[in-house]
Amino acid sequence: MPELPEVETIRLGLEEHIVGKKIVSVEVRLKKIISGDIAKITGAKFKKIRRFGKALSLDLDNNYSIAIHVKMTGQLIWESDEIKVSRVSKVLVGELPNKFTHVIFKLKNQNLKGKTENSFLFYNDIRQFGWIKILSTSDVEKLPFVSELGPEPSVGDRVRDRVRDRETLTLKKFQQILKNKSTKIKVLLMDQKRIGGVGNIYANDALFLAGIDPRRQAKSLSTNETRRLYQSIEEVLKQGLKYGGSSEFTYVNALGETGEYQKHFLVYGFYKKPCSRCGGKVLTIKLGGRGTFFCPHCQN
């Protein structure tokens, strides 16, 4: 499920492949996925791709933007008509378009020789939880999801120009967020209004790396534990980004390729696997309605 590293990986791919290309037309196959006026974006060129937590904003050169949240199973895949060597995962995507393709953006650009090239940006979504909103660029940050988004952990220099100081999760802010909160620490980590970009996979792994029991109340963490968890969050997100995200389910990058972080999970998804640190039994429980994995021996 796409979280900060996955969405950032998609962003980097889109930045490389669609910026400068013009939207020729938009085909909507499932109306409820998309809102706003398609006419506003037809003919405009992609200028910049921004990320806000797990959401993206595809900014155009006419002061309009396409805001997208892929939620659980959304895929944004760019495919050129000219380059026939497709890297699209046969297992996680298959043919394009397919029955889960709900919106198709047809793109056009001139190559270096002045020849016209055609390409497509497909939005696929099995569970149809995701959304696409066409709105003026100045309204993107007014979307509730964006305006209420908590500060984001830093994942290194590769990551875009978007982060302003008030949006970066510093240790000091993290301490402030945990202070006096009786919420369970894992539930808090995943609350987008408090911390932006962390979802179930990385919350599980960060708590494992920090050796903290996910059931603990946020306010019960000591200064040292808080610092350890803060560093662990950055560490697992960086690992996720390094491996191009996690494709344990339907996630693929902007070229339809799978990520590899699922091969490096620390504790997430360890249904029958022993703890990677002590060999003991990994417990599966529910917290905040979501599957939670932890080692009761290594996480206290």
Q: Where in the sequence numbering do the catalytic residues fall?
A: 2-3, 54, 290
Count of CB atoms situated within 10 Å of the CB of 287: 18
User: How buried is residue 222: exposed, middle or buried, by Cβ count under 10 Å (0-12/13-18/19+)?
Assistant: exposed
Footprint (CB under 7 A) of DNA, residues 185-204: 187, 190, 192-193, 199-200
> What single letter denotes the amino acid at residue 45?
K
Shortest distance in whole angstroms from residue 33 CB to DNA? 9
Stretch that binds DNA, among 39-47, 49-57, 227-235, 255-263 (CB under 7 A): 49-57
Q: Does 233 bind DNA (CB under 7 A)?
A: no
Q: Which amino acid is at 273?
A: K
Q: Is residue 259 a contact point for DNA (CB under 7 A)?
A: no
Grouping H, G, I as helix, E, B as strand and the rest as coil, residue 3 is: coil
Minimum distance from CB of 243 to DNA (Å)?
A: 18
**How many angstroms separate the CA atoms of 9 and 21, rounded?**
19
Figure out which of the listed residues 122, 123, 145, 261 binds DNA, where binding follows CB under 7 A. 145
CA distances from 207 to 14, 251, 279, 299 (A): 31, 23, 17, 8
Cβ 82 to DNA, closest distance in Å?
A: 31
Choices 60-68, 115-123, 142-150, 156-164; region in contact with DNA by CB under 7 A: 142-150
Query: Which of residues 162, 181, 216, 281 is near DNA by CB under 7 A?
Result: 181
Collapsing DSSP to helix, strand or coil, 168 comes out as strand
Exactly one of 36, 94, 211, 291 binds DNA (CB under 7 A); that residue is 291
Residue 207 binds DNA, judged by CB under 7 A: no
105 forms beta bridges with 26, 121
Report the residue from 69, 102, 133, 186 that binds DNA according to the rule CB under 7 A: 69
Least Cβ distance, residue 71 to DNA (angstroms): 5
Number of neighbouring beta carbons within 10 Å of residue 271: 8
Contact pick of 80, 86, 128, 276 for DNA (by CB under 7 A):
128
Contacts of 242 (CB under 8 A, 6+ apart): none
According to the 3-state scheme, what is the secondary structure of 106-150? EEEEECCCCCEEEEEEEEEECCCCCEEEEEEHHHHCCCHHHHCCC
Task: Answer yes or no whether residue 228 interacts with DNA by CB under 7 A.
Answer: no
Q: Which of residues 73-92 bind DNA (CB under 7 A)?
A: none
The type of residue at 289 is G
Beta-strand pair 290-294/283-287: antiparallel
Q: Which spans of this chain sit near DNA (rule: CB under 7 A)?
A: 1, 32, 53-55, 69, 71-72, 99, 126-129, 144-145, 148, 181-184, 187, 190, 192-193, 199-200, 286, 288-291
